[in-house]
Structure 1
Amino acid sequence: MASTSFSPPSSFVFNGENYHIWVVKMKTYLQAYNLWEVVNTNVKLAPLRDNTVVAQIKHHSDKRAKRYKVMSYIQNGISNVIFTRIGACTTPKEAWDKLKEEFQGFKKTGQQELINLIRDFENLKMNEAKTIKQYAAKIMAVVNNIRLLGEEFTDSKVVEKVITTFPERCESKISSLEDLRDLSIIFLSKLINALYAQEQRRASRHWEHAE
């Protein structure tokens, strides 16, 4: 059961950059408090009637409090400069849609960012001086940003990128994996761990010979 304590977000503040990342964080934060549904509705609360029972009063009060909490979360999750954009908004949905319209509504900007990330992905190659882990981390950083922009990017495509851009020293291990199973369905983590293990063994033999 989610905690009912009120704790505005302080670990992330949207300042106008990386809106797609902030949205994911804020949505998860609101979901953790069972408040995300408040963002999706803009229906005004009906006024209480004179013959309203205690249970109805409490329900009405809880719904109103949720709206104020979500509005507070959103307001505290943005910088003062961004706050001026939603200062006149009276409901969480209105504020959320306003931010979305301004920072995600310009599809041309988002599409260009996506094009740039895909180009970065396609141009990635492993430098001989880098380790398997370093290269894999660099690939996944680009892939995760692509996915955050809403683009479907399958693991099989990432695996294909990995096996076609690794240096020659990895070819023997990749060949052994090809004998074991179809590379189109192999888990990326399994491939990276197998290649990393080979890299570690190679490094150990190098140091043994050096001694």
Structure 2
Amino acid sequence: MESYGDLLNNNKVIFDDRNYGFWKSRMKSIIGGIDRLAWKTVLEKWEEPTIKDEKAIHCSVGRKQFELIQGCETAKEAWDILQIQYEGTSKVQSSRKDMLASRFENLRMEEHESISDFSSKISTLAQEAVTLGENI
């Protein structure tokens, strides 16, 4: 079994404005891989351990995102701030889901486009939907 430090170093994904969905999925995998209860502590009430270590989220964001969460004491605080910043409130998420559904409905394969490229576009839309909690 890998140590906590090995998990971070081997799976490092730096979050920036373009990769929130990918970063979120990776964080769930990395933190969930630490311990079966680790991910639960991000989403629910966090009990302070005797040794404090917030590296999993704080060390996996770019400078702009770090500035948003640098004062956070817990992984949950950091996660919630980033989630609202990049996914929005439930009202914003609902609008994003509607826009995504519209983009999916209007998706057409271009004449010059390969099947592989079109498949990638479909997969990208589907992953965006999963990030918003929706399955297409």
Q: What is the TM-score of this pair, normalised by structure 1?
A: 0.51
Q: Are positions 1:41 and 2:27 aligned together?
A: no
Go from structure 1 to structure 2 and tell me whether the alpha carbon gap of 1:93 and 1:128 turns closer, same or farther (over 3 Å shift): closer
* Aligned residue in 2 for 1:64: 50
Q: Structure 1: how far apart are the matches of 2:112 and 2:88? A: 41
The CA RMSD measured in Å over matched residues stands at 2.6
* Aligned residue in 2 for 1:125: 108
> Greater helix percent: which structure?
1
Q: Are positions 1:137 and 2:136 aligned together?
A: no
Q: Structure 2: how far apart are the matches of 1:16 and 1:134? A: 23
**Are the equivalent residues in 1 in contact too, given 2:87–2:132 (CA < 8 A)?**
no
Go from structure 1 to structure 2 and tell me whether the alpha carbon gap of 1:17 and 1:93 turns closer, same or farther (over 3 Å shift): same
* Aligned residue in 2 for 1:92: 75
Q: Residue 106 of structure 1: which of 89, 94, 98 is its match?
A: 89
* Aligned residue in 1 for 2:26: 25
Q: Structure 1: how far apart are the matches of 2:114 and 2:72? A: 50
Go from structure 1 to structure 2 and tell me whether the alpha carbon gap of 1:43 and 1:114 turns closer, same or farther (over 3 Å shift): same
- Aligned-residue offset at 1:150: 1.0
Q: Residue 83 of structure 1: which of 66, 74, 97 is its match?
A: 66
Q: Deviations over 1:110-135 (max 9, x none)?
A: 33333332222111223444444443
**Are the equivalent residues in 2 in contact too, given 1:14–1:77 (CA < 8 A)?**
yes
* Aligned residue in 2 for 1:4: 3
State percent identity of aligned pairs.
26
- Aligned-residue offset at 1:31: 1.3
Which one has the largest radius of gyration?
1
Q: Give ranges in structure 2 of 5+ residues lacking alignment.
A: none
Q: Deviations over 1:16-53 (max 9, x none)?
A: 44433322111111112213233233234xxxxxxxxx
Q: Give ranges in structure 1 of 5+ residues lacking alignment.
A: 45-62, 154-211
Question: Secondary structure, in 3 states, of the residue corresponding to 2:50?
Answer: helix
Residue type of the partner of 2:50? R
Q: Are positions 1:152 and 2:129 aligned together?
A: no
Q: Spell out structure 1 runs of 4+ moving beyond 4 A.
A: none
Residue type of the partner of 1:91? T
Q: Structure 1: how far apart are the matches of 2:24 and 2:5? A: 20
Q: Structure 2: how far apart are the matches of 1:30 and 1:149? A: 19
Q: Structure 1: how far apart are the matches of 2:122 and 2:85? A: 30
Q: Structure 2: how far apart are the matches of 1:36 and 1:94? A: 13
- Aligned-residue offset at 1:77: 0.8
- Aligned-residue offset at 1:89: 1.7
**Are the equivalent residues in 1 in contact too, given 2:69–2:81 (CA < 8 A)?**
yes
